[in-house]
Structure 1
Amino acid sequence: MTWTDTMHQAIERLAMAPGLRSAAERAYWRRFSNNVEANLFHGVFDSAADAVASAPPSRPLGYDNADSANLAYLSRIYPTDYAALFWLANSLAGGMRSVFDLGGHVGIKYYAFRRAIAYPPELKWMVCDVPAVVTRGRELARERDGERCLHFTDEYSHASGFDVLYASGSLQYLPLTLAELITGLPVRPRRLVVNLTPIHPSRSFYTLNSIGTAFCPYRVQSRDDFLDGVIGCGYEKRDEWENTGKTMRIPFHEGYDVDHYSGYCFDLRA
């Protein structure tokens, strides 16, 4: 547990004292509503619609806006990337040649990982994101992607027929679960590499996420719900890992925190 997590829990315990909780909740709501730089969470909900209905009017909803499209995510490799990077490198070494990067923003991992992986010249890496992000990604690719391996789409259905579906830090923002998305594909990817996903030991729910530029409904699945859904689509689990140091804290909702995010590799059964 990090020092920040320890302080968060100490403050929340103090706020539970009689007469202090309501004041603490109001103070946090003001911080959440006016946030411009932190990654914050508020509330527990049964649906994305309920989470959206709770959003303050101070920011737009979702990533499909210019400010969110221009967020300065760094194209670097983080410690939480290495397990997923291993399985992507393994995929390319095994002859797979196409990657569908679900929620890959402007191609940040495509640019980061080419420093560690020798991309084959015939590689096709397609990022799927919202229209505002896709527009920005194409603009940057004209300057940065001399190999012309990077492509963009805003349609989930374009994942059909790709060798690898890669999703890092994105499944929680989608209107569909991974299992629902795969079910709609005529040709399912041979491999799924999932990283930085909030998986709760026992609960499935939504919360509201402030990313500084917008408010987003944020899905959290229980481990059983997530695995049962993907395995039920015809996949077997090859690997599972913890993204230690990456946590989710929802103030004033005991039992809903996520102590570490999760990653998985699945292969389509023959």
Structure 2
Amino acid sequence: MSLQSMARIALARTRIGSAMRRLPLVEPVYIRHAANRRDNTGLQWGIYSSYGEAFASIPKRRPGGWDHEAAAGMWVDYVAPVRPSTYPILFWLRMLLQPDVRLVDLGGSIGLTYYAYRKFDALPEGLSWRVVEVPHISAQGREVAVREAATGLSFESDLARAGACDILLAAGALQYMERSIPGVLEDLGSRPRYILVNKVALSQKPEFFTLSNYGPGIAPYRIFNEACFLEYFRQAGYVIRDRWIVNDMACDIPFYPEHTVAEFAGFCFERTAS
């Protein structure tokens, strides 16, 4: 483990971080350093009560959110190693994908999960895989789809226009969305039989936001209250078919160890009520 990683863990997961926060200028100096990084380090900072408050705190010199060319350019060459956290999703997709199934991939970038699945298994005949993304990333996704002859893959920038689906996939986007839980099922307008959620940060604390530097830009990052998150799906008629730990991801918030989330979660929900 590098000295930088050890320092980050000490600040984000131990009482050292809380003590350092009380020292003048220490936290502002760290925030300036973290906000200036451009190397996709995934650094987080700050505690905010709302998406709007977090967004307003993004330095003006950096692009905010995900809808800009710099973010879309992350996937000009989409080929990348499949992370361990992706395998539970690939497992459930292999179980659930059938001919003529309609899947909506919320926040699926340029179709990264589509290409990961296609790498390991054949896509069913008649599969409709629709990615819902911000306009800049959707445009990049369409270009890559033509280049890669991605049959059945399409893009939409409005969840309300995505159409009915059998499977809703959200593999790491819910925490970046201004309106997500609640809101996703209401905006989709239908109740798919299955919902696959991956890489979500859950906490026992009331919901809060931090800021995340993902390299080309900075975005508000939501940490959900676990009880409220699960109750949303229960109220919509879903039960948990599977739950897994995503231990290759964490939300380390320096100076706020009581808010740090050391591991993420994934779920397969199935609808049992009309």
User: Does the C-alpha gap of structure 1 residues 247 and 2 become closer, same or farther in structure 2, counting only changes over 3 Å?
Assistant: farther
TM-score (norm. length: structure 1): 0.91
Q: Aligned AA for 2:48?
A: F
Deviation of the 1:191 alpha carbon: 0.6
Match of residue 39 from structure 1: 42
Aligned-residue sequence identity (percent) comes to: 32
Question: 1:230 is matched with which residue: 204, 228, 233?
Answer: 233
TM-score (norm. length: structure 2): 0.89
Structure 2 CA distance for aligned equivalents of residues 126 and 46 of structure 1:
32
- Please list every run of 5 or more consecutive structure 1 residues that lacks an aligned counterpart in the other structure: none
CA contact (8 A) 1:203 1:256 kept: no
Question: 1:83 is matched with which residue: 80, 88, 95?
Answer: 88
Deviates more, 1:146-155 or 1:258-267: 146-155
For each residue in 1:49-98, what CA deviation from the matched residue of structure 2 results, as whole angstroms up to 9, or x when unmatched? 110111111211111110100114644422111111111111115x6712
Q: Aligned AA for 2:226?
A: R
User: Does the C-alpha gap of structure 1 residues 266 and 96 become closer, same or farther in structure 2, counting only changes over 3 Å?
Assistant: farther
Q: Does 1:25 align with 2:27?
A: yes
For each residue in 1:147-206, what CA deviation from the matched residue of structure 2 results, as whole angstroms up to 9, or x when unmatched? 521100001113441010001110001121244220233321111000011111333111
Q: Does 1:241 align with 2:244?
A: yes
CA contact (8 A) 1:179 1:230 kept: no
Q: Does 1:192 align with 2:201?
A: no
CA contact (8 A) 1:194 1:265 kept: yes
User: Does the C-alpha gap of structure 1 residues 7 and 178 become closer, same or farther in structure 2, counting only changes over 3 Å?
Assistant: same
Match of residue 92 from structure 1: 97
- Please list every run of 5 or more consecutive structure 2 residues that lacks an aligned counterpart in the other structure: none
Q: Aligned AA for 1:42?
A: W
CA contact (8 A) 1:102 1:128 kept: yes
Q: Aligned AA for 2:35?
A: S
Q: Aligned AA for 1:29?
A: I
Equivalent position SS for 1:193: strand
Deviation of the 1:36 alpha carbon: 0.4
Comparing both chains, which one has the higher relative contact order based on Cα–Cα distances under 8 Å and sequence gaps of 6 or more? 2
For each residue in 1:221-248, what CA deviation from the matched residue of structure 2 results, as whole angstroms up to 9, or x when unmatched? 0110100011111111111111012111
User: Does the C-alpha gap of structure 1 residues 15 and 259 become closer, same or farther in structure 2, counting only changes over 3 Å?
Assistant: closer
Structure 1 CA distance for aligned equivalents of residues 130 and 17 of structure 2:
46
Structure 2 CA distance for aligned equivalents of residues 49 and 8 of structure 1:
26
